[in-house]
Amino acid sequence: MKQYQKAIRIQTQGKNFSRITPQVESIVSESGIETGLCNLFIRHTSASIIIQENADPDVLQDLANFFNKLVPEDATRYHHSTEGLDDMPAHIRSVLTHTSEQIPLNRGRLVLGTWQGIYVWEHRQRSHQREIIVHISGI
């Protein structure tokens, strides 16, 4: 079994979704691994990795709206506010979503569904530099 690992660094644009599917596909290709598993891990506690609809942007907007209602930025609700009003809600949102994802590989390609894309979901208001570790194992 072979292992391959590389980091993706992206600059988010504040509370938003950054599609990283092409970067992950490129790393899978350069790994030379044909069959196996691609593990993605974001090294942060206020952003998430999600696999979601990549054709209709309304889906991502509806997700953002839902989470804004589910986890409001309200100073009266939280003790932790060291980094601002959006800090604790960002931590809660990352717990409710994912900090890692696994995607099977077949014939050297990610086995994603037709309408699936991989995104970093930034939960903070400000832009941040985020790092995602891509670890591929297989044959």
Query: Using one digit for the tens of pLDDT, what is the confidence trace for 44-89?
Result: 999 999 999 999 999 999 999 999 999 999 989 999 988 899 999 9
Q: What is the pTM of this model?
A: 0.95
Q: Which residues pair with 41 in a beta bridge?
A: 100, 133
Contact between 136 and 25 (Cβ < 8 Å):
no
| 53 is a domain residue | yes
| 128 is a domain residue | yes
* Structural domain count, the chain: 1
The CATH number of residue 24's host domain is: 2.60.120.460
Q: What CA–CA distances, in Å, run from 136 to 29, 53, 96, 105, 107?
A: 10, 23, 25, 9, 13
| 84 is a domain residue | yes
| 2 is a domain residue | no
Range of the structural domain that residue 59 is part of? 9-28+42-100+110-133
Write the pLDDT tens digit of every residue in 115-132.
999 999 999 999 999 999
| 1 is a domain residue | no
Using CA of residue 24, residue 59, residue 13, residue 85, what is the dihedral sign?
negative
